[in-house]
Amino acid sequence: MKKRITLISIIFIILSITIISSATYLGYMQKLVEENIYKNLEELTKQDASNIENKLKEDIRILNSICNEITSNNIKNVKEMFELYHRNAGKYKFTRMAIMQEDGTTITSDGEIVDLSEDIEYFLKNEDIQISRSRKSKVDMQEINIYSQKIKIEDTNFVIMLIVETQEYERLFSTSIYNGDSYEYIITKEGEIIANSANHENTKNIYEDLKNNVNLKSKTNVDKIRENIEENKNGQDSLKILENKYYISYTNINVSNWILLIITPESIIAKESKQILKTSLLISIIIVLGITCISLYIIISNIKKKKELYNLAYIDPITKLGNYYYLLKNGQKLLDNSQNIPKYVIILDIEKFKSFNKHYGHNVGNKLLIQIGKKLDKVLEKHNKVVCRLSNDIFGIVIQTNKEIEKILEEIWKNLSKISIEEEIYAIYPVIGVYKCKDNEEILNAIDKASIAHDTIIGNYNKKYAVFDEKIEDQILEEHQIEEIMEEALEKNEFEVYYQPKIDIKEEKMVSAEALVRWKREGKIISPAKFIPLFEKNRFILKLDLYIYKQVCKDLKRWQKSIKEIENLNVSINISKEHFGNLDFIEKYVEIAEKYKIDTNKIELEITESASINSDINLIEIMKKIKERGFKISLDDFGTGYSSLNMLQDMPIDVIKIDKSFIDKIEDKNEKIDLIKYIVKIAKELNVKTVAEGVENIKQIEYLKNIGCDIVQGYYYSKPLSKIEFEKYIHENNIYSD
Ligand code: C2E
Ligand code: CA
Ligand code: CA
């Protein structure tokens, strides 16, 4: 919503800017066009005025020269005067010459006599040449103008006149180029019309005429024009007559007192300019539209890009749920809300998802993840929550609910444990950790704690979920402390090998011993149960196993030399499944055995049955490789893992070690006792020896002897012993093995 508003306002701003600049541009263009019109009109007016001026000058010159000749040659005869005119002026376009006598009687060159007595005063008042206003010719009623000059011959005044038809001026008007749509006037300062292109017979005064026609607003313009003309100023202006605009230009015609005035309708003079304006407008519109489109495009693609970036940053492409960063951002928001309803962070993943992927392919794996996302959303539908996929098969949830969290987790577990993909149903095993958040909890901290709870039940198939409690944290703390000192402990030889004898039931003799690590620190012994799982997690076990193996080889070599009874002692050593990721360890183990001159068939490697759960490794292949190098192999903790009879058949093992949990049941008269019987039976079938672990009493021994179990190991005979104790044990019991 907010985005849309910003989008709209951005478009609005861009559009406004473009429209304003277009309008300014158009205004500027209009001004330019108007200036251009005025300039053109001014030039036109000046041009016409100058043409008329030239004609007037020429006409005056001719009159002047005629008069000069008359006076200098002292011509008194009218006839001779006309001859002079014909000689001089005939080729010019004068209509006629006339000579007025003092009484107003006027003779014309074309032989007429007219009476101009009412104009005597005008003709005689001035010594200089005068140019008359337009008047009707008394000869032929044509509109004419008269150039006149008073001359004196022997004390008698004559007025020599050259008559020109007013039309002659009008011929010089260039408004004809406007097809007669423009009007050109020669006027006097008072506005009296001397000549006009339109032949407006009725109009006598231009100012009155204009004032009668123009709109109210333009009347002041007329006054202004009149004022200017009276002050001998040239100028331009515009007027409105009805809806039409007219441009007016006026300029003085020198020589006379006349003014040339041109009135042109805008429609004519601005035709071209209008076109320019129209084009400009069109261009402006195109620019506005173009800019709008471009800005829209940019904004939309920006929004798209932003969304893409957002998705990239916050959305998991597979499930379309939020990702880790989404959980940090929106989970924190949920934790920060002030409602007094409990908030939890849940971390969930799928046991052995890697194997699932490998087995069914990534495509089905991805579909599984999508289904999990959907189911989580569905189960938690009614709660205020954020569901995200954090990585691989790990999901993170922040949820706010009044409902018992245990119930919700049960429901999640139930819904996720069977998932159908394309009509196939897949059984999966969700592992869930949950943490109840405190007030103002940091999301990162909450995720950590939920993860800690989650990690405690990985591989523990008895628990569906784990709720974080502070004890777990203590354990983690302890683990951290151990991790800090383990390397140093190894260097300081704090790890020591203990040996636990294995006894042949029938012979009641020690036939072998299991090497078990002990960590002696500051006088105390730390139990392997505390550090072995941790070392398997952080893979320090690789170093530790090798160290123990070396110690055992060293001990074996010494014993073979010094203790007659056990020169052929067989020792079993635990080897973590963590080694199986890289098979180089086999060569390393062989090398060390060779170094101490120990026959590898004196060494039995104990591999836990649970190593076969991880289907990423092919346990049988690994066992075969180990076997190839001469080692014996025992399958440790048998009965706690998942090896099938088929697998058992293919495993190149020498020994099956029946887990203590089965042996413990012997006293209980539990039905599991039968199971031991079968295990022993099968082992015999497979030609594999059986070792019973954790044998603590005679009852168990008797039972095991009865069912044909080969070897027993347990506190009944001996606890794991330090090297010295073990050597003592051998001497005291005088045991010999072959
Ligand atoms: P495990 O291989 O099953 O070893 C047998 C465990 O049972 C030993 O515990 C031993 O002390 C204990 N045990 C033997 N007889 C009895 C009995 O009669 N009663 C009872 N209650 N316990 C008995 P330990 O030494 O604490 O070792 C625990 C586990 O740690 C071992 O189980 C083994 O998985 C692992 N481990 C020990 N040493 C090493 C080692 O050097 N490398 C590796 N990778 N794992 C080791
Ligand atoms: Ca073992
Ligand atoms: Ca065991």
Per-residue pLDDT tens digits for 247-298: 999 999 988 889 999 988 887 777 777 787 788 788 888 888 888 888 788 8
Q: Which of 520, 532, 571 to mutate to test the pocket of ligand 1 (most atoms within 8 A of CB)?
A: 532
- Of 655 and 296, which is predicted with more confidence? 655
Q: Is the pLDDT of residue 565 over 70?
A: no
- Nearest in space to 292 (alpha carbons), one of 564, 12, 2: 12
Per-residue pLDDT tens digits for 314-341: 999 999 999 999 999 999 999 998 888 9
How many whole angstroms from 693 Cα to the centroid of ligand 1? 9
Q: Is the pLDDT of residue 2 over 50?
A: yes
Q: Is any atom of ligand 1 closer than 6 Å to the C-beta of 191?
A: no
pLDDT of 572 reads 98
pLDDT of 80 reads 86
Distances (CA, A) of 112 to 79, 96, 133, 148, 409: 13, 10, 21, 18, 134
For ligand 1, atom 24: residue with the closest CA = 528
How many whole angstroms from 717 Cα to the centroid of ligand 1? 15
Per-residue pLDDT tens digits for 426-437: 989 999 999 999
| Residue 50, Ramachandran bin (φ over 0: left; ψ between -120 and 50: alpha; else beta) | alpha
pLDDT of 21 reads 84
Instruction: Say whether 324-468 and 74-168 share the same fold.
Output: no
CATH class name, domain 324-468: alpha beta
pLDDT of 616 reads 64
How many whole angstroms from 577 Cα to the centroid of ligand 1? 15
Q: Is any atom of ligand 1 closer than 6 Å to the C-beta of 501?
A: no
Alpha helices in 78-124 (DSSP H): 78-89, 120-124
Q: Is the pLDDT of residue 377 over 90?
A: yes
- Of 255 and 701, which is predicted with more confidence? 701
Paired tokens of 92: 């010019």
**Looking at the domain that runs over 74-168, which CATH code has it been given?**
3.30.450.20
How many whole angstroms from 539 Cα to the centroid of ligand 2? 18
Q: Compute the mean pLDDT over every residue in the chain, rounded to the nearest whole number.
A: 89
Q: Which of 516, 520, 531 to mutate to test the pocket of ligand 1 (most atoms within 8 A of CB)?
A: 516
What 3-state DSSP class applies to 738? Answer: coil
How many whole angstroms from 516 Cα to the centroid of ligand 2? 8
Percent of the chain with pLDDT over 70: 94
Per-residue pLDDT tens digits for 584-631: 999 999 999 999 999 999 999 999 987 766 656 789 999 999 999 999
pLDDT of 4 reads 67
CA dist., res. 640 & res. 611, Å (int): 11
Please give the single-letter amino acid code of residue 732: E
Q: Is the pLDDT of residue 646 over 60?
A: yes
Q: Is any atom of ligand 1 closer than 6 Å to the C-beta of 639?
A: no
Beta strands in 438-537 (DSSP E): 465-467, 495-504, 509-521, 524-526
Q: In this structure, are residues 347 and 450 in contact, taking their beta carbons and an 8 Å threshold?
A: yes
**Looking at the domain that runs over 2-56+173-314, which CATH code has it been given?**
3.30.450.20
pLDDT of 615 reads 59
Q: Is any atom of ligand 1 closer than 6 Å to the C-beta of 170?
A: no
Per-residue pLDDT tens digits for 142-200: 889 999 999 988 888 889 999 998 888 888 887 666 666 788 889 998 988 888 876 66
Q: Is the pLDDT of residue 113 over 80?
A: yes
Q: What share of the chain is helix, strand, coil (3-state, %, to 5)?
A: 50, 25, 25
pLDDT of 475 reads 82
- DSSP at 327: I
| Cβ neighbours of residue 66 closer than 8 Å, sequence gap 6 or more | 81, 84, 85, 88, 89, 97, 160, 162
CATH class name, domain 493-733: alpha beta
Percent of the chain with pLDDT over 90: 51
pLDDT of 738 reads 46
Q: Is any atom of ligand 1 closer than 6 Å to the C-beta of 327?
A: no
Angle between helices 698-707 and 672-685 (to 10 degrees): 40
pTM value is: 0.54
Q: Which ligand is nearest to the CA of 640?
A: 3
- Residue 722 pLDDT level (bands cut at 50, 70, 90): very high
What is the DSSP track for 6-28? HHHHHHHHHHHHHHHHHHHHHHH
Instruction: Please report, for the chain, the start and end positions of each structural domain, with discontinuous segments joined by +.
Output: 2-56+173-314, 74-168, 324-468, 493-733
Q: Which ligand is nearest to the CA of 525?
A: 1
| Residue 440, Ramachandran bin (φ over 0: left; ψ between -120 and 50: alpha; else beta) | left
- Compute the average pLDDT of residues 454-460: 80
pLDDT of 85 reads 83
How many whole angstroms from 470 Cα to the centroid of ligand 3? 31
